[in-house]
Every structure is written in structure tokens, then in C-alpha cells.
Amino acid sequence: MTVDDTGSGADADGRVDPPPVSAPLDRGDPQGAAESGEDPLALRLEGLILGAERRYTPFQAARTAGVSMELATRFWRAMGFADVGQAKAFTEADVLALRRLAGLVEAGLLSEAMAVQVARSTGQTTARLAGWQMDSFLEGLTEPPEPGMSRTEVTYPIIELLLPELEEFLVYVWRRQLAASAGRVVQAGDDEEMVDRRLAVGFADLVGFTRLTRRMEEEELGELVEAFETTAADLVAARGGRLIKTLGDEVLYSADDAGVAAEIALLLIETMANDETMPELRVGMAFGTVTTRMGDVFGTTVNLASRLTSIAPRDAVLVDSAFAEELIRSGEAPASEAEAAEAAAKAEKEGEEPPTYRFALQPMWQRPVRGLGVVEPWLLTRRHSAPA
């Protein structure tokens, strides 16, 4: 242990030694908290989590990292952090992060715009994760572990214990997700432009959610939303789809294969229908070219899936004509029951096994959809063999 020129205890790489979990929490004045007007505990938590103390103003951090102040500011804001003026708010880790991003640009591995996107996508994703984790950990506390400790003070020992394990787990999950994403890119191989891909996109929406918000207590509503999101996320992942995002009463997911997306949609309807505590559900899906950016999806296909969801009957799935055509093309559904009967008769005549279809499609009335013109929805259901 060495003592640096600020008088704080830190080892050679700048890591601040946290107090033992069982020790009383010192609410002293770390790193000039009184002068900055910040809560001493907040600064102690920052030191614990970042593993380094504040040393640099924004200008000093940019200069030390060897990047322009303009680029450093763009990176900082892209990660989701507020401007700090000329306060000493940056650590050695901040300098290293700036240097690494700038190095990728200098080496030609990333354009400057792409580096900013990397900072923004990482910041947005981890901000939501960090907020959820803190809320969940503190919500799980019923009584402080020691008499006289406030919930705020308990935060320090909790983070002290969880930080190393959560950090390792985060890296593990990220690597797993990156491997899965790389695999999908390789499989898509021949796409001229990897940003624009043909995907099945689905929205699943809770019916009557607005009315529920007026009738239910906040805690009950939160539990319902969490149960819905958990159920949807598990089903989507288990069947090989990708959960794009959750919007409280709605989830957006995608799949490379229309059959996979159709199976997920019907499973969501069936699972929710069997749970008396959950509202009814409706699903809208479309198939076509989708623009992917920062883990999200955009384009006419996405908009059409959203519109189909808004007009879908309760506990039902509507798909667009392109989705229906894809299921028919892949042999997952017959174009009509007449065609299915004809194919079965032909197979029987030739001594072959009749084709088996997982899904049935029923054309619905054509109707105008705002911003998309006239569309022909199809009702998607499971197909049951016709009686002999």
C-alpha cells in the first residue's frame, strides 16, 4: 500500500482498499466531498466500483489519452454521462477507455462514427442493466444486516460482495451472446449488406393493459409486467428467437425462420391463456427486410407487425401475406385446406406419407392500415388433422 499525493490510501495501480463488510461505514469526506457538495458515501461507492479515484478534469483526461477534447466529449456523452464542466471527475480507467476507443479509430478498425455508436450502444445497454440490478438488490433487503444501518449504507457491503462475481458473469454472458451473433452472421453468408436482413418480426401485446393500470396497485402491476416479460423472454430464447426489447405491456422479438417465429407466437398465446392471473394476449407478425442497428430493428416490416398487433383479435395471431407465403413455401402450412386434402390424396394414391403441416392459415378481410396502405392479414393457428 502506498499513499499518493492526494493523501488517500491506494495501491500502485490506483485501486482504493474498501473497508471490511463488517466494519462500520465511515461517512467521512473522501476526495473532497464537502467541497464538491457530493455525498461522501456516493463517492466511496464510486471508488469501490471504479477501483480508482478521481484525478483528471475532462481536458486533462483527453490530453492524457491523446484524443481531442471534442472526441472525448462525444464518447462521454454517447456512453450516457452528463457533462461535468471542469471538475475532477475522471479516473485512470476513463483515460484508458478513451485511449482504447481512439486507438481502434487510428488503427482503421472502426470509423469515428462507429466508435461513437459502440460507446452509445454499450452505455444504453449497461445503464439499464445497472439500474435494474441496484433496484433489485436493494428491493430484496427487508432488514439491514446490522442495527442502525440505513438501506443506503447497506449498499456498500452489498456491492463489495457482489461486484467481482457480477463482473465475471457479465463478461461470460457477453462472450456467449457475441458468439451466437457471430454464428448468425456466418450463416447469413451471402447477404450483400449485413445490416439489412430478411427476418420474421413479432409483437406480443397485453390486451387492456391501460385499464389494468387504473385498477391495480403499483406493486401488483410491476409483478404482472415482470411475469409477462420473463415468460416471453424464456419462450423466445428457448425456441431460438431473439428478444429485441420489452415495453411494459409489449415485447418485440425476431427470428430468422418464419416457422420459429410462428411457434413462439402460438406458445405465447397458449401459455398466457393457461395463466388465470394474466390478461389476454394478441400477436402480430410480418416477414421481410429489416434494418438492424444497435440491437434494435427498424423498417416497414417492423411497422407492419406493430399495426397487425393493434388489429389482432384477443388470444390470436395475425401475420402479413409475406409471412404466410414463407410458411407455405417452407412446407410449414398449406395454402388452403383444399390443397392439403389434395396433397394427402395424391400421397395416398402413390403409397407415400402425406405431408404434415404444423400451422394453418386463414385469410382475413383486406383492410387499410395507417401509413402502409391496404394489407391482407392472415389468421395463424395450429393445424389439426382433418377428420377421416
Match domain 196-382 to its CATH number in 3.20.20.150, 3.30.70.1230, 3.30.930.10, 2.170.8.10. 3.30.70.1230
Can you tell me the mean pLDDT for 178-188?
Answer: 76
The predicted pLDDT at position 146 comes to: 64
User: What is the chain's alpha carbon radius of gyration, rounded to the nearest angstrom?
Assistant: 27
* pLDDT-based confidence at residue 129 (cuts at 50, 70, 90): confident
What's the grid cell of residue 193? 449488406
Task: Give the residue with greater pLDDT, 385 vs 307.
Answer: 307
Query: Which of the given ranges, 2-11, 54-63, 217-226, has the highest pLDDT on average?
Result: 54-63
Evaluate if residue 4 carries a pLDDT over 80.
no
The predicted pLDDT at position 361 comes to: 94
Cα dist from 214 to 143, 210, 221, whole Å:
31, 7, 10
Least confident of 35-44, 136-145, 232-241: 136-145
Q: Do the beta carbons of residue 152 and residue 137 sit within 8 Å?
A: no
What's the grid cell of residue 154? 447497506
**284 DSSP 8-state letter:** E
Can you tell me the mean pLDDT for 287-293?
Answer: 89
CA dihedral 115, 116, 122, 125 (to 10 degrees): -150
Residue range(s) of every CATH 3.30.70.1230 domain in the chain:
196-382
Q: Quick check: helix, strand or coil at residue 40?
A: helix
The predicted pLDDT at position 36 comes to: 56
Task: Give the residue with greater pLDDT, 272 vs 33.
Answer: 272
Q: Do the beta carbons of residue 258 and residue 326 sit within 8 Å?
A: yes
Cα dist from 46 to 43, 265, 306, whole Å:
5, 43, 41
What's the grid cell of residue 179? 458468439
Task: Give the residue with greater pLDDT, 371 vs 231.
Answer: 231
CA distance 313 to 316: 5
Task: Give the residue with greater pLDDT, 152 vs 61.
Answer: 61
What's the grid cell of residue 298? 427498424
Least confident of 233-242, 295-304, 307-316, 342-351: 342-351
Can you tell me the mean pLDDT for 51-80?
Answer: 91
Cα dist from 169 to 18, 129, 165, whole Å:
22, 13, 6
Q: Quick check: helix, strand or coil at residue 244?
A: strand
The predicted pLDDT at position 7 comes to: 37
* pLDDT-based confidence at residue 69 (cuts at 50, 70, 90): very high
Query: Which of the given ranges, 8-17, 207-216, 299-308, has the highest pLDDT on average?
Result: 299-308
CA distance 319 to 220: 32
Pairing outcome for strands 316-319 and 281-293 = parallel
The predicted pLDDT at position 196 comes to: 64
**CA max distance for the chain:** 92
Identify each DSSP E strand in 134-225 by its residue range. 196-206
Beta bridge partner(s), residue 289? 198
Q: Do the beta carbons of residue 259 and residue 327 sit within 8 Å?
A: yes
